[in-house]
């Protein structure tokens, strides 16, 4: 036990939030609105979470800006003019800073404050949170709003420390930028991030080498600025936009075509594929025939349609084949939205290296060595993704009852009830552990509302402790584990969603099979029933 004078220096709050991204900022706003004392810690020097760290050229929404923004304040909706249909990182970061200022959130936020550990003190039913700088605070409730894709992952390539050039991960792109002009640049990774980055820098660098392990089905984003008339229309119809989002499985404003792709004539099917191809964003995915999202012939038809589009972009047919995905089906991963990605490979200064064929063997002082060749580089960019969902929790030392760590508990995949709470870790709300994916703010806003209502309910009843029942956790975890081994599109690709991108990580779905809509309805029922499946005392 620390001496009493040190105890006095420990600040006390009703709730501590970890993370100043879209989830944490909103949780802070809502908790404070209900009269709770709150402190929010974030490692970054600014607010924004994902939208603070991902400053790489080309970082951009794939959700429509006006469907992604917060819905809770009509004043905010009416005063904020989104510039682009799919806002770029600088615009999103400006928006989140505006939110922090408008709602006076900064007074309760401590930036450049990385949480090192959180320990549950059983006798008091409170969490003790310690920062890297040694500062300690305590709160009844701990809200982990750490993001699903925030623990950036750099593969353990031998020799990286010997590299004489500059390198960075896209999720830690320096605020002052990377000096790429006229340089020989290598990009490892062709997920959404690599696909956004590559066309942005191809014209600026002297030579660009793209190291691809798995090609993806990239679809055109077709971003454009929002004109004044459209801006007015958006502002006048926000209620309708959010209503549509709330009724869709993933919080987007699209509805599937209720027809099967296989019921219509081949001509009609092709006409729809071509028409949607010309439309922006995820229409091609989420407003398509419903069975394009399911394993089977409709998905195969659409996957083949997309392969033909890729072939049409790329002049060299052998190169085109390397860019065509053939080991997974469309929709088994969130499709990267591109802006001139495939055309880049027609440029003389761009080389594609297939590292599935010839794997990266090591980083050398001068560049990257694959099985077949040495590539001399001045800069290496790792667009190699994230240790998703559990990674950011694992990087803190979270200890619950009996000293058990969350890292140990989640070693075989998250063991939670509804992704929200875990037995042995009372009063810890893991807002980002295993929630459904989709249009993120639409998914987390109602989740935050639910958690804040639950905390307010506890205050009203003078409860001090909440935890799931072992039975509820077991049932939910088994439900997710069963979905992880079921043969579905989502389990058919080696993606971060299954932990498959991190060597040694358990292959478990990091998001439940249930849609955001189903989860919302389920949570509402649980609250109405007096929090069935949770023990409150």
Could you list the residues that contact ligand NA7 (CB under 6 A)? 149, 155, 188-194, 211, 213-214, 334, 355, 360, 383-385, 494, 496, 501
Q: Which residue lies nearer to ligand NA7 by CB, 282 or 417?
A: 282
Q: Which residue lies nearer to ligand NA7 by CB, 144 or 360?
A: 360
Helix (H, G, I), strand (E, B) or coil at 77: helix
Q: Which residue lies nearer to ligand NA7 by CB, 115 or 329?
A: 329
Q: CB of 210 within 8 A of CB of 246?
A: no
Closest C-alpha among 511, 496, 492, 500 to residue 300: 492
> How far apart are CB 524 and ligand NA7 at their closest, in Å?
27
Which helix (H) or strand (E) segment holds residue 361: the answer is strand 360-364
> How far apart are CB 389 and ligand NA7 at their closest, in Å?
12
Q: DSSP H helical segments within 80-137, as ranges? A: 89-102
> How far apart are CB 512 and ligand NA7 at their closest, in Å?
17
Distance separating alpha carbons of residues 190 and 381, to the nearest angstrom: 11
Strand order in the sheet with 367-370: 360-364, 367-370, 374-376
Q: Which residue lies nearer to ligand NA7 by CB, 313 or 496?
A: 496
Return all residues near 103 (Cβ < 8 A) that are at least 6 apart.
29, 73
Q: Which two tokens stand for residue 332?
A: 């088994």
Q: Which residues pair with 368 in a beta bridge?
A: 363, 375
Q: Which residue lies nearer to ligand NA7 by CB, 203 or 359?
A: 359
Where do we find the tokens 């080696």?
A: 494
Distance separating alpha carbons of residues 440 and 434, to the nearest angstrom: 13
Q: Which residue lies nearer to ligand NA7 by CB, 379 or 455?
A: 379
> How far apart are CB 328 and ligand NA7 at their closest, in Å?
9
Minimal CB distance to ligand NA7: which residue? Answer: 191
Closest C-alpha among 295, 220, 305, 237 to residue 271: 305
Q: Which residue lies nearer to ligand NA7 by CB, 213 or 409?
A: 213
Distance separating alpha carbons of residues 366 and 209, to the nearest angstrom: 14
Distance separating alpha carbons of residues 86 and 79, to the nearest angstrom: 18
> How far apart are CB 161 and ligand NA7 at their closest, in Å?
17
Q: CB of 192 within 8 A of CB of 56?
A: no
> How far apart are CB 219 and ligand NA7 at their closest, in Å?
13
> How far apart are CB 334 and ligand NA7 at their closest, in Å?
4
> How far apart are CB 189 and ligand NA7 at their closest, in Å?
3
> How far apart are CB 61 and ligand NA7 at their closest, in Å?
10
Q: Which residue lies nearer to ligand NA7 by CB, 192 or 422?
A: 192
Q: Which two tokens stand for residue 435?
A: 């929630």
Q: Which residue lies nearer to ligand NA7 by CB, 21 or 189?
A: 189
> Helix 238-247 to helix 228-236 angle, to the nearest 10 degrees?
70
Q: ∠404-410-413 over CA atoms, to 5°?
A: 165
């Amino acid at each position: 036990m620390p001496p009493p004078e040190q105890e006095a220096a420990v600040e006390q709050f009703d709730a501590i939030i970890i993370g100043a991204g879209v989830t944490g900022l909103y949780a802070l706003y809502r908790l404070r609105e209900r009269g709770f004392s709150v402190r929010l810690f974030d490692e970054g020097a600014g607010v924004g979470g994902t939208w603070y760290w991902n400053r790489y050229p080309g970082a951009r929404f794939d959700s429509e800006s006006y469907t992604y923004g917060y819905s809770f304040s009509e004043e905010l909706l009416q005063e904020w003019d989104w510039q682009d249909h799919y806002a770029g990182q600088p615009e999103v970061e400006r928006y989140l800073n505006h939110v922090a200022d408008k709602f006076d959130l900064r007074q309760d936020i401590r930036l450049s404050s990385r949480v090192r550990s959180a320990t549950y003190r059983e006798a008091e039913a409170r969490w003790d949170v310690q920062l890297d700088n040694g500062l300690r605070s305590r709160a009844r409730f701990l809200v982990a709003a750490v993001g699903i894709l925030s623990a950036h992952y750099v593969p353990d390539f031998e020799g990286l420390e010997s590299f004489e050039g500059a390198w960075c991960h896209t999720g830690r792109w320096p605020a002052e930028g990377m000096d790429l002009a006229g340089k020989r640049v290598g990009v490892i990774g062709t997920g959404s991030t690599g696909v956004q980055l590559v066309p942005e820098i191809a014209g600026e660098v002297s030579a660009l080498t793209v190291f691809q392990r798995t090609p993806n089905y990239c679809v055109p984003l077709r971003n454009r600025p929002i004109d004044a008339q459209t801006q007015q229309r958006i502002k006048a119809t926000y209620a309708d936009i959010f209503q549509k989002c709330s009724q869709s499985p993933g919080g987007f404003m699209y509805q599937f075509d209720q027809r099967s792709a296989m019921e219509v004539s081949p001509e009609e099917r092709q006409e729809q594929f071509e028409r949607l191809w010309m439309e922006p964003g995820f229409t091609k995915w989420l407003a398509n025939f419903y069975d394009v999202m399911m394993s089977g012939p409709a998905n195969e038809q659409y996957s083949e349609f997309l392969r033909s589009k890729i072939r049409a972009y790329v002049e060299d047919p052998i190169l085109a084949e390397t860019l065509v995905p053939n080991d997974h089906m469309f929709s088994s991963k969130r499709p990267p939205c591109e802006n001139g990605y495939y055309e880049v490979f027609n440029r003389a200064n761009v080389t594609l290296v297939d590292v599935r064929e010839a794997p990266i063997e090591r980083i050398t002082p001068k560049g990257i060595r694959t099985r077949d060749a040495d590539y001399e580089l001045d800069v290496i960019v790792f667009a190699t993704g994230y240790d998703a969902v559990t990674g950011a929790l694992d990087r803190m030392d979270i200890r619950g009852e009996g000293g058990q760590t969350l890292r140990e508990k989640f070693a075989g995949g998250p063991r939670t009830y509804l992704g929200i709470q875990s037995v042995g870790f009372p009063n810890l709300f893991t807002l980002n552990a295993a929630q459904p994916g989709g249009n993120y703010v639409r998914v987390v806003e109602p989740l935050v509302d639910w958690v804040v209502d639950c905390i307010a309910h506890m205050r009203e009843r003078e409860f001090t402790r909440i935890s799931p029942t072992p039975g509820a956790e077991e049932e939910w975890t088994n439900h997710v584990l069963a979905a992880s081994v079921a043969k579905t599109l989502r389990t058919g690709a080696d993606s971060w969603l299954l932990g498959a991108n991190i060597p040694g990580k358990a292959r478990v779905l990091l998001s439940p099979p249930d849609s955001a809509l189903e989860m919302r309805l389920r949570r509402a029922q649980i609250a109405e029933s007096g929090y069935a499946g949770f023990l409150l005392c």
